[in-house]
Amino acid sequence: MLSNTNVIKLVGLMLVVAAVNVLVLSPGFLGVQIGASALSTATGITLLVASAWILINGIYQFLFKKPVVIPVKEIRTHEEYVERLSQYRETKGIEEEIRIGLEQMERMQKRKSTFFQVLKQRFNESEISFSKFASVALDVENLFYQNIRNILNILSVFDETEFDRVVNRKMSGLSIELSQKKAKVYNDYLTSMKNALTNNEEILVKLDRLLLEISSLDNVEPEDIEQLACMQELDALIKQTKYYKA
DSSP for 42-73 reads HHHHHHHHHHHHHHHHHHIIIIISPPPPPPGG
User: How would you classify residue 172: left for phi > 0, otherwise alpha for psi between -120 and 50, otherwise beta?
Assistant: beta
What is residue 157's DSSP assignment? T
Phi, psi at residue 37, to the nearest 5°? -160, 170
Rounded Cα gap, residues 9 and 4, in angstroms: 9
Rounded Cα gap, residues 209 and 44, in angstroms: 63
Q: What is the pLDDT of residues 134-149, one digit of tens each?
A: 888 999 999 999 999 9
- pLDDT digit string (tens) for the chain, length 246 residues: 456 667 888 888 899 998 888 888 887 777 787 877 888 888 888 888 999 999 999 888 877 776 667 788 889 899 999 989 998 888 888 889 999 999 999 999 999 999 999 889 888 888 888 888 888 899 999 999 999 999 999 888 877 676 666 655 555 566 667 767 777 877 888 899 999 999 999 999 999 988 888 887 766 666 667 777 777 888 777 777 654 453
- For the question of whether the overall pTM of this predicted structure is more than 0.85, the answer is no
Rounded Cα gap, residues 189 and 191, in angstroms: 6
